Amino acid sequence: MSIPATDDDFTTRARRIRLACFDVDGTLTDGRLTFDSEGREFKAFHVHDGQGLVLLRRAGIAVSLVTARRSPIAEQRAAELGIEACTGVGDKLACVEGIARSQGLDLDDVAFMGDDLPDLRVMLRVGLPAAPRNAQDAVLQAAAWRSRFDGGHGAAREFCNALLEAQARLGPLIDGLLQAEPPGIGARS
């Protein structure tokens, strides 16, 4: 993991996190927009990232997707993972502030992972801003944590794991997954 701040600074920030928000295009996907001849949009999500979001949720950290694009695909993916999706968002900062406020959280309790300029206002205000390796330069400079992976290629999972490790929750979650789960308990990733 590449952390521009000190490990102690990251750990201190990460231990506070109770809400993790993620941009979609360029963060949970590789940023390409693909359309068929009828205008239907396609996105590819990395299954490891999905499992990371599920692990955060299982650890009691609320998870939300926050994207400027209206995206039934992102909404469907969020529903599969049991998390919230805010699509067609004009002001990402106002959206994240609203989600945090609805849960009684301060922005210091929020992590946000983004990759491009529309994410910058949020990243400059939350407690733990993060970015995939291939994020735009201004976003990388604002990030307190940077992935070794590109968006859509495991960057979000690496960030989820780092958060869970800092909160000493990753090991217990893995141990729990090694136990037999009754039917219907596991979430798809």
Residue 109 domain-assigned (yes or no): yes
Residue 186 phi/psi, 5-degree rounding, is -70, 145
What is the 8-class DSSP label of residue 2? B
Is the residue at 88 inside a domain? yes
Each residue of 77-107: pLDDT tens digit?
999 999 999 999 999 999 999 999 999 999 9
Any idea what the CATH number is for the domain that residue 16 is in? Answer: 3.40.50.1000
pTM as predicted? 0.90
CB neighbour list of residue 73: distance below 8 Å, 6 or more residues apart? 41, 42, 43
Domain range spanning residue 99? 7-118+150-164
Cα–Cα distance, 117 to 101 (Å, whole number): 24
More confident residue, 185 or 123: 123
pLDDT at 181: 60
Contact 63, 84 (CB under 8 A): yes
How much is the pLDDT for 166? 96
Q: Domain tally for the chain? A: 1
